[in-house]
Amino acid sequence: MGKLAVLSLSVAALAVLIGERVITLRHLSLYYRELTQNYLPNCHHIEGIECGAEDITILENGLAFLSTCVKHPDLPSYSDDPGKIYTLNLLDSELKIKMIVNEPKCNSQVEIFRFVEDENALQYIKTIKHELLHNVNDIVAVGTESFYATNDHYFTNGILKFVEPFLSLPWCDVVYYSPQTVQVVAGGFLLANGINISTDKRHLYVADLLKHKIVVLKIQKNTVLSHVKEVDVGSLCDNIEVDRESGDLWLGCHPNGRNWLLQDPNDPPGSEVIRIENILSEKPKVTQVYADDGSVIIASSVATPYGGKLLIGTVYQKALICDLK
């Protein structure tokens, strides 16, 4: 009876632990969140983008770079095409996209290219690999060959990658890379996703997706980061773009983790765009700019404004352009 009692207690304790973890994971993933539609005027899909624009960056002259066709075994695929980078001139009334490079299939590594504007081409410079860059999600450049990068998992093994969020292990980090120095400069993230830098180059912004927060970090002279504050956004935010004029943050977010996990084509993942104004002030203003249940655009991952327009990219479906109110 003694052994049976111990076994029974062990099974009961394990069941309680698993139950508590499932409840916690559902909370972290906003599993039960309901989304109310919130549209912008004059939205339309960008012609030629059929397999997502997971990240978008716009230069000062209105030239946008769109990273498309992310491939992942757990995600739907709308195209057999390999990853590509397109350009889109937002000052061109016809909004025609141009492909400038195919992205090779790769593991966790960083590719450096030089943009040759006259030829609308990317010139390959080098590939960077390092043991600390083991699960790179996003980077922000601070020099020709130096950058900060987020690792969105601690482990590289697939099963252990699942264990991390299941046990709420805050083991994700930010790494600084330069040809002279490579080091972890910030940690404690549940899932470190998008990263970007303030217009004055003094602060970094990191999306801690499962905490529903944007973490503000100050850049020290030795490139190490000090924690400043965290801003609640109430969504699973992916990439961060910074308005070079106002300094506002624009976030492409996943509003509901249930739909993301299930990937049901009849109830697809929705999309949400959030703007943060005056993030360094005592009371930053957090505003939902756009929201859709997946009927227009599925799984938004980035949003960036330019000239009264807003570009919204997705992980694997389409890209949208709207007028800002």
- The label of the residue with tokens 């602060």 reads 203
Examine the domain organization and report whether 14 and 119 are in the same domain: no
CATH code assigned at 121 = 2.120.10.30
Q: Are residues 5 and 137 in the same domain?
A: no
Residues 1 and 89 in one domain: no
Give dist(CA 225, CA 173) in Å, integer. Answer: 11
* pLDDT tier at 95, thresholds 50, 70, 90: low
Same-domain status, 135 and 1: no
Give me the mean pLDDT over the 49-60 stretch.
Answer: 92
Q: Are residues 235 and 282 in the same domain?
A: yes
Question: Among the listed ranges 70-74, 109-113, 189-193, 216-220, which one has the minimum average pLDDT value?
Answer: 70-74
Return the number of other C-beta atoms located less than 10 Å from residue 181's C-beta.
11
Least confident of 16-20, 34-38, 140-144, 158-162: 16-20
pLDDT of residue 131: 96
Sequence-separated (6 or more) residues with CB below 8 Å from residue 231: 213, 214, 216, 276, 279, 284, 286
How far is the C-alpha of 20 from the C-alpha of 24, rounded, in Å?
6
Total number of residues shown for the chain: 325
The pLDDT of residue 286: 98
Whole-number pLDDT of residue 221: 85
Please name every residue paired with 184 in a beta bridge, in sequence order, or none if there are none: 175
190 and 313 together in one domain = yes
Partners of 45 in beta bridges: 320
Same domain flag for 175 and 310? yes
Residues whose CB is less than 8 angstroms from the CB of residue 223 and which lie 6 or more positions away in sequence, other chains included: 176, 178, 181, 183, 185
In a shared domain, residues 26 and 168? no
What region does 120 belong to: left with phi over 0, alpha with psi -120 to 50, or beta? left
Structure confidence at residue 261 (pLDDT) = 86
3-state secondary structure at position 45: strand
Question: 214 falls in which pLDDT band (50, 70, 90)?
Answer: very high
Into how many domains does the chain fold?
2
Measured between alpha carbons, how far is 208 from 51 in angstroms, rounded to an integer?
Answer: 25
Of residues 91 and 289, more confidence is placed in: 289
Whether 4 and 131 share a structural domain: no
- 239 a known binding residue? yes
Q: Is 137 annotated as a binding residue?
A: yes
Same-domain pairing of 240 and 269: yes
Q: How far apart, in whole angstroms, are the C-alpha atoms of residue 65 and residue 44?
A: 18
Q: What is the pLDDT of residues 221-251, one digit of tens each?
A: 878 899 999 999 999 999 999 999 999 999 9
Same domain, 9 and 122: no
Check whether 238 is labelled as a binding-site residue: yes
Q: Is the pTM of this model over 0.85?
A: yes
**Residue 173, annotated as binding a ligand:** no
pLDDT digits (tens, 9 = 90+) for 112-126: 988 988 888 888 899
**Sign of the dihedral through C-alpha 249, 175, 59, 300:** negative
Is 42 annotated as belonging to a binding site? Answer: no
**Do residues 198 and 296 both lie within one domain?**
yes
Q: Give the separation between CA 141 and CA 34, rounded to whole angstroms.
A: 36
Domain that holds residue 80: 31-323
